[in-house]
Amino acid sequence: MLSLSGTGIGRGIAIGRAIVLDHSHRQIPEFTLSEDAVEDEVKRFRDAVARARTGLLRILDSIPPDSPPETHAFVDVHLQMLDDPVISEQPVESINHERKNAEWSLKTHADTLIAFFDGIEDPYLRSKKNDVHQVVDRVLAELLGHTVTDLSRLDDDLAGYVVVTHDITPADTVTLHQRGMTAFLTSLGGPISHTSILARSLHIPAVVGLHDAVRYIRNDDLLVIDAANGSIILGPDDAVLQEFRDRQQAHREEIASLTLLHHQQAITQDGIQVALLANIELPEDLKLLAPAGAEGVGLYRTEFLFMNRSQPPGEDEQFETYCQVLDTVSGPVTIRTLDLGADKQVDGGRTDGERSINPALGLRAIRLCLNEPALFKPQLRAIFRAATRGNARIMIPMLSSLSELDQALELVRETHRELAKEGVEFNPHVPVGGMIEVPAAAISADLFARKLQFLSIGTNDLIQYTLAIDRIDDEVNYLYDPLHPSVLRLIYRVIEAGRSAGIPVSMCGEMAADPEFTRLLLGLGLREFSMEASSLLQIKQLVLNTTVCDLEKTAKDALQCLEQDRLRNMVEQLNIDKVSTV
């Protein structure tokens, strides 16, 4: 038995036999053409491009109608790249001028393109070099006279098989999925590559980024894959195999039972009621609330109303939109005021044209709103007017000092006075809360709590600011850790501040949607979670299976824990009888 690990994609357990494909070490011949061979070589190259194109079109045709919509898009991207002269014409110049063979001309040209992508700062956009690789590989395969991943040699029925290879294109992922492939493992790839995104939506368990570890796997090896944590067991013994079969079964049953939970209230075994709310951006997102059983909206990101237009939306337009949301949702709707800033600008907003070097620390959110009351006041007016229609709450983002809070609250009162004076119908009792996402606010949460009617912990920024880590940056994101003792202490501090002040505390960052942390947070006293609707039922099920009074001691002990490894063990303890994660 041997264990390997990489980046797990999706969840669930897969058991199957390996089919090892390898096309990564293809030798690319290099030679100089005789003058009269150049014309034929250009034709040979163009024919190969045309065949690669036909191959992609065939895949596009064979995508089953019930596939996720992005499936077509991924194949389309490759078709367009193939049609782009940058890929399909520029090598011709090198064949003509340098008289190099087609494979070599294409390969050297592709290397230049890939080197360009390697220089891109943004990790996500940089990763698109894989698409260049994959498209070029298709043409190379045609030139060298064999199919891309040797898929044609494979049996049509891949049920029970795990495909192991250097890399899989999105198109091949679809083909293999249609043939019933159980799972796949690749040396390349990361959590946000196209193939991984597709695997998640097709519910194919996969482990990517295994690097050289794939070399340990031989054809027909029996593999057990736990996609949730990216681990693979090679040649499991009978006991291990049985354990995973049981977990696989439990996992299937759980998926089926989750959908039954949407009507049920989220109450723990010891009778504690937990509020589970949804995060939304646009009124269209509201249709996701009922199937997920969300009790309301814990975070309504209003900035999307303001983006990509020459003028900010007027008070009446905002009023209409907020009414639409409040009319649809019976529970609370937490409207976060504008979180625009240096990185999310209204067109025609700031005129100086200067961009902050470090947008996350710049003039954003409440800082920008206080700086530009002409932008902020119409939003406040629209919210207070719409609040006669439903259960609205206002949440102020990015608070870092009490004077900012005082200024914001003064603007709230001023808006009330103006509306009253004008005789406009409005609700003066809208609760005002603060988003606690800057460490300064978390440390002094007790002071903020005295002036606010609720607090909401924004963990994404709180973790990023506390640990000084840009988590989009793949060179440091390994340091991004919700279980860092300093993060946990800040979270606990905010929860305690709310409790002493007698006001609710909710959490609306990604941590609230992660089942690993649900029990820890319940143990620390959190009673309100807001998340993407798609995660809600899973968290609800966990709440239903939790006895909070059993967790409190371990959760508080975790705050005193200095060693990260021990802390992780404690969290595992809390989750010990947790039903398998879906």
Partner 1 sequence: MKLEREIEVINRLGLHARACASLVKAAVQFSSTIALKHDGQSCDAKSIMGLMMLAATQGTRLTLVVEGEDSQQAVNRIVELFSDRFGEEE
Identify whether 194 is a catalytic site residue.
yes
Among 4, 16, 74, 508, binds partner 1 (CB under 8 A): 74
Identify whether 508 is a catalytic site residue.
yes
Instruction: Single out the segment in contact with partner 1 by CB under 8 A; choices: 116-124, 173-181, 270-278, 404-412.
Output: 116-124
Reduced to 3 states, what is the DSSP secondary structure of residue 104?
helix
Helices 564-574/515-523 angle, 10° precision: 90
What whole-number distance in Å separates Cα of residue 78 and Cα of residue 130? Answer: 11
**Whole-Å CA distances, 229 to 12, 95, 207, 237:** 10, 47, 9, 20
Helices 402-422/373-386 angle, 10° precision: 60
Do the Cβ atoms of 144 and 107 come closer than 8 Å? no
Among 28, 57, 86, 476, binds partner 1 (CB under 8 A): 86
User: Per the structure block, which two tokens stand in for 482?
Assistant: 């919700």
Do the Cβ atoms of 273 and 521 come closer than 8 Å? no
Site for partner 1 in 364-403 (CB under 8 A): none
Instruction: Single out the segment in contact with partner 1 by CB under 8 A; choices: 80-88, 151-159, 223-231, 562-570.
Output: 80-88
Give the x-and-dash track for 130-169 against partner 1 (CB under 8 A): -x--------------------------------------
> Which letter does DSSP use for residue 393 in this model?
E
What whole-number distance in Å separates Cα of residue 147 and Cα of residue 141? Answer: 6
334: part of which helix (H) or strand (E)? strand 333-336
Instruction: Single out the segment in contact with partner 1 by CB under 8 A; choices: 31-39, 102-110, 114-122, 520-528.
Output: 114-122
Do the Cβ atoms of 20 and 219 come closer than 8 Å? yes
Instruction: Single out the segment in contact with partner 1 by CB under 8 A; choices: 71-79, 158-166, 386-394, 484-492.
Output: 71-79
345 near partner 1, judged by CB under 8 A:
yes
Among 308, 351, 403, 560, binds partner 1 (CB under 8 A): 308
What whole-number distance in Å separates Cα of residue 164 and Cα of residue 22? Answer: 8
Among 87, 289, 405, 511, binds partner 1 (CB under 8 A): 87
89 near partner 1, judged by CB under 8 A:
no
Which of 224, 418, 230 lies closest to 315, judged by CA?
418
Instruction: Single out the segment in contact with partner 1 by CB under 8 A; choices: 2-10, 150-158, 230-238, 340-348.
Output: 340-348
Q: Residue 162's beta-bridge partner residues?
A: 18, 183
Conformational region of residue 353, where left means phi above 0, alpha means psi within -120 to 50, and beta covers everything else: left
Please identify, using beta-carbon distances, which residue of 34 and 308 lies nearer to partner 1.
308
2 near partner 1, judged by CB under 8 A:
no
Among 39, 40, 122, 317, binds partner 1 (CB under 8 A): 122
Q: By CB neighbour count within 10 A (0-12 exposed, 13-18 middle, 19+ buried), where does 234 fall?
A: middle
Among 76, 221, 446, 496, binds partner 1 (CB under 8 A): 76
Please identify, using beta-carbon distances, which residue of 277 and 346 lies nearer to partner 1.
346
Give least dist CB 80 to partner 1, A: 4
201 near partner 1, judged by CB under 8 A:
no
Among 118, 121, 212, 577, binds partner 1 (CB under 8 A): 121
CA 203 to chain centre: 16
Please identify, using beta-carbon distances, which residue of 173 and 415 lies nearer to partner 1.
173
What whole-number distance in Å separates Cα of residue 377 and Cα of residue 408? Answer: 10
243: part of which helix (H) or strand (E)? helix 238-258
111 near partner 1, judged by CB under 8 A:
no
> Which of the following is catalytic: 323, 369, 508, 561?
508
Residue 355: count other Cβ atoms within 10 Å of its Cβ: 12
Phi/psi at 42 (5° precision): -60, -45
300 near partner 1, judged by CB under 8 A:
no
Instruction: Single out the segment in contact with partner 1 by CB under 8 A; choices: 266-274, 302-310, 380-388, 457-465.
Output: 302-310
Instruction: Single out the segment in contact with partner 1 by CB under 8 A; choices: 112-120, 176-184, 218-226, 392-400.
Output: 112-120
Do the Cβ atoms of 171 and 52 come closer than 8 Å? no
What whole-number distance in Å separates Cα of residue 482 and Cα of residue 464? Answer: 10
Among 21, 77, 141, 543, binds partner 1 (CB under 8 A): 77
Please identify, using beta-carbon distances, which residue of 130 and 541 lies nearer to partner 1.
130
Can you give the C-alpha Rg of the chain in angstroms? 28
480 near partner 1, judged by CB under 8 A:
no
125 near partner 1, judged by CB under 8 A:
yes
290 near partner 1, judged by CB under 8 A:
no
99 near partner 1, judged by CB under 8 A:
no
User: Per the structure block, which two tokens stand in for 44?
Assistant: 């040979």
Please identify, using beta-carbon distances, which residue of 220 and 347 lies nearer to partner 1.
347
Helices 102-118/129-144 angle, 10° precision: 170
Among 3, 32, 54, 80, binds partner 1 (CB under 8 A): 80
What whole-number distance in Å separates Cα of residue 141 and Cα of residue 158? Answer: 23
> Which of the following is catalytic: 194, 323, 369, 416?
194
Which amino acid is it at 304?
Answer: F
Give the x-and-dash track for 237-276 against partner 1 (CB under 8 A): ----------------------------------------
Positions touching partner 1 (CB under 8 A) are 70, 73-74, 76-77, 80-81, 84-87, 113, 116-117, 120-122, 124-126, 128, 131, 194, 281, 307-309, 342-345, 347, 355, 359
Which residues belong to the active site?
A: 194, 508
